[in-house]
Amino acid sequence: MNKKKKARWYAHFDNKWIVRQMQIYPNEKAVLLIAGVDDMNMCKLSLDETGLTSRVGAEILDSNSKQEWFKHGSREYLNSHFGQISSKFVVQLLQNYC
């Protein structure tokens, strides 16, 4: 029997493109992805193409998003890839919160 793992997927968009993405699977380490570092592994759809703008409940508050992001080891990940990050938003996040 093939059981699909359920995951929570978070994406932070800066205008229409994803700048940071996180996938959280039960009992596993979260997968953190950042624009400029992990481009080949990130979702390549624009905000409109994802359909998220028309899905009720798809939006997460900024404070909740940051809480989840930092809870899953993003400080260390961001610090170790600082020079490669292409998003000004993510660089600012690192400078303000890490």
DSSP string, 42-64: S----HHHHTGGGSTT----HHH
Closest CA to 13 of 54, 44, 57, 55: 44
Q: How confident is the model at residue 3 (pLDDT cuts 50, 70, 90)?
A: low
What Cα–Cα distance (Å) separates residue 3 from each residue in 8, 10, 22, 45? 16, 22, 21, 26
Q: Is 22 exposed, middle or buried (0-12, 13-18, 19+ CB in 10 A)?
A: buried
Q: What is the structure's pLDDT at 43?
A: 95
**Residue type for position 27:** N
With contact defined as beta carbons under 8 Å apart, do 40 and 88 qualify? no
Q: What is the structure's pLDDT at 98?
A: 57
Q: What is the structure's pLDDT at 49?
A: 95
Query: pLDDT per residue over 39-88, tens digit each?
Result: 999 999 999 999 998 999 888 888 888 888 889 988 888 888 878 888 88
For the chain, the structural domain boundaries read: 8-97
Q: What is the structure's pLDDT at 97?
A: 64
- Higher per-residue pLDDT: 94 or 12: 12
How far apart are alpha carbons 76 and 18 in whole angstroms? 20
